[in-house]
Amino acid sequence: MPELMPLRGIHFDPERVGRDLGAVLSPPYDVVDDDHAILLEEKHPYNSVRLELCVPPADPAPARYENAAAMWSSWRNEGVLVQDPAPSLYVYRHSFQHEGRRFVRTAIVGRLGGGVAPHEETMAAPKEDRRRLLRACAAQFSPILALYEDPGGRVKSRVEAELKGRTAALSASLGDEEISLWRLDDEPTVAGLAADIAPLRAVIADGHHRYQSVRQYLEERSGSDDRPGVLAALVATSDPGLLVLPTHRLIRARSEGIDLRIIDAVANSLGGRGEIIPLVDPSRPDFPRSLPKSGESETTFVAVSGGRSWLIRCECGIAGALETMDGAIGIALEIGASSGPSGMIEYVQDTGWAMEEVLDGRAGAVILVPPVSLDEIISKACQGKRFPRKTTYFYPKAPAGLLMLDLEPPR
């Protein structure tokens, strides 16, 4: 059962950085590379990427975390970052476009004490990076994204009633995205929302590494009797703005024939559970929109290389099929590397862009992955099962810098 608690949120002071906070927000670290981080830093001297950081190098230096801690302290002392006076829950509304459609996603932001199930596997290196940042700063700069079921719409009705007539406390524009944040600090409302959510099933959507890192960091502080929890934005599974994209596998081939060998390896790895079927010309304008979907007992991938395409069908669920496929790709790349650089894999969500990369010759192949339904994510997670990493992508990610959590124990 999810334990939702209020927090005294820390955020940028609009009087210091401007009413539109767009220039100081950044995506979470895992989708920001070095070049993107530089652009964000140039956008505004107080951009939150300086706190959140970006994808870490293989062996990050201590200065990476020390610099973030120095800025966190300095910005608070300067009054660039301010803390709300009363414990509050927050409502975060994110308006965005995808494939020509406008979506609006609504989340409740608070401290999550537990009672939420993971749905994807994690890796050690990103968790160690986040723990090092936590040890240096004792703060969380971006919320994880969690899902909860609200079958009767009770939580939604309470939120809508509370927002009626209220003005957003903070707002930001990010291109075609608009973000608004409301603060709810009266105790009956906070208690009511926490009570409404407590009996519902909840699952981590995005931020598995951050969630586990914060929990492990807090466990390190043995003897502390505070319960700060994890900064989380909770979205109802029935929310019309909840968009789950598949994560495709794009292969940048560096040796001749490696792309086709990878496709053969994937098909062969499925053994008697799979078959590979030639498809139509992948350059057809409607090709990406004609992809099949998968169920719990059958999964279909589409592989594209050059001007050819294949349907790879296997008689197993998406979790097992992805695990098998990723293993086959990794082995094929390792075998190819024995005679020189063979290629690399990128995880991408934009189907059209991935297709263009292959058809224009900038990538050797792409394996298009079907989306996973919310029902399957919730069901498997609550059974204690996990999907392979890079299975889902909840678009867009909740930004860093909109609301932050101080994890320092009380003095």
Q: According to the 3-state scheme, what is the secondary structure of 240-288?
A: CCCEEEECEEEEEECCCCHHHHHHHHHHHHCHHHEEEEECCCCCCCCHH
Q: Is 210 left (phi over 0), alpha (psi -120 to 50) or beta?
A: alpha
**What pLDDT does residue 394 have?**
97
Residue 236's pLDDT is: 97
3-state secondary structure of 146: strand
Within-domain flag for 126: yes
pLDDT at 50: 98
Q: What is the pLDDT of residue 196?
A: 96
Please, what is the Cα angle at 379 between 374 and 383, to 5 degrees? 150
DSSP 173-223: EETTEEEEEEEE--HHHHHHHHHHHTTS-EEEEE-HHHHHHHHHHHHHSTT
pLDDT tens track for 280-332: 778 776 676 556 566 667 788 888 887 888 888 888 888 888 888 888 888 87
Res 254: pLDDT: 56
Residues of the chain with pLDDT under 70: 222-227, 253-259, 270-276, 285-286, 288-296, 335-343, 410-411
Residues 187 and 315 in one domain: no
What total number of domains does the chain contain?
2
- Residue 340 is predicted with a pLDDT of 42
Q: Are 253 and 357 in contact (CB under 8 A)?
A: no
In a domain, 380, yes or no: no
Domain check: are 86 and 158 in the same one?
Answer: yes
Asked if residue 378 is part of any domain, the answer here is no
| Inside any domain, residue 124 | yes
Considering the entire predicted model, what is its pTM? 0.91
- Are 289 and 331 within one domain? yes
- pLDDT given at position 342: 46
Question: Distances in Å between the alpha carbon of 65 and those of 87, 129, 133, 270, 398?
Answer: 28, 9, 5, 43, 22
Round to whole Å and give the CA distance between 21 and 408.
25
Query: Quick one: 264 and 360 in the same domain?
Result: yes
Beta-bridge partners for 278: 310
Query: 384 lies in a domain?
Result: no
Return the CATH number at 288.
Answer: 3.30.1760
- Determine, yes or no, domain membership for 304: yes
Q: What is the pLDDT of residue 393?
A: 95
Determine the structural domain holding residue 326 and report its residue range: 248-368
Let me know whether 402 and 351 are in one domain: no
Assess if residue 139 is contained within a domain: yes
* Contact call for residues 183 and 84 (beta carbons, < 8 A): yes
171 plus 283 within the same structural domain: no
185 and 263 both lie in a single domain: no
Largest Cα–Cα separation, the chain: 67
- 366 close to 304: Cβ distance less than 8 angstroms: yes
pLDDT of residue 224: 55
Residue 107 lies inside a defined structural domain of this protein: yes
| Domain co-membership, 159 together with 267 | no
pLDDT value for 222? 65
